[in-house]
Amino acid sequence: MTVNNSAGVANCLWASSSSSSPSCVQTEHIIAGLILSGCCLVGVPTNIFVIASLGRRLRRTSITIHLLFSLAVSDILTLLCLPVGMVMFYNGFPLTDALCYLYFFFFFFCLSSGFITLVLMSIQRYFQVLHPKKWAWLSKRDQKVLVLGAWVLGALLSLPVLFCLRDDGAGDEGDARHSCTNLRIMPILEVVYSGLTVASYLILLYFYLRLVRGVNRVKLSNKYQSRMAKIILRILAASLAFSIPPLVLRVLHAVAALKESPHLLQLSKKLVFVECLYFLNPCLNPFLYFFSSRDRKGRDCSKGRESESCKDGF
Domain extent listing, the chain? 3-168+175-293
Highest mean pLDDT among 112-116, 237-241, 245-249, 272-276: 112-116
Could you tell me which residues come within 8 angstroms of residue 4 by beta carbon, excluding any fewer than 6 positions away? 189, 190, 193, 194, 196, 197, 247, 250, 254
Q: Where are the beta strands (DSSP E) in the chain?
A: 95-96, 165-167, 177-178, 183-185
CATH for 3-168+175-293?
1.20.1070.10
> φ, ψ for residue 20 (rounded to 5)?
-85, -5
Q: Over the chain, what is the mean pLDDT? A: 75
CA 153, distance to chain mean position in Å, is 14
Highest mean pLDDT among 39-53, 132-146, 288-302: 39-53
pLDDT, one tens digit per residue, over 91-107 is 666 667 788 888 889 99
pTM (whole model) above 0.85: no
Q: What pLDDT shows up at residue 15?
A: 43
Residue length of the chain:
314
- Backbone torsions φ then ψ of 306, nearest 5 degrees: -90, 70
Per-residue pLDDT tens over the stretch 256-267 = 777 777 777 777
Q: How many alpha carbons fall within 13 Å on the CB side of residue 184?
A: 12
What pLDDT is stored for residue 100 in this prediction? 82
Alpha-carbon span 5 to 2, nearest angstrom? 5
The sign of the dihedral angle between the CA atoms of 193, 89, 267, 274 is positive
pLDDT tens digits, one per residue of 8-37: 555 555 443 333 344 445 777 788 888 888
Do residues 16 and 282 lie in contact, with contact meaning Cβ atoms separated by under 8 Å? no
Predicted pLDDT at 293: 63
Q: Average of pLDDT values for 173-187? A: 63
Tell me whether residue 51 is exposed, middle or buried, using C-beta atoms within 10 angstroms of its C-beta: 0 to 12, 13 to 18, 19 or more.
middle
Report the alpha-carbon distance of residue 50 to residue 287 in Å, rounded: 10
pLDDT greater than 70 at residue 218: no
pLDDT on residue 17: 39
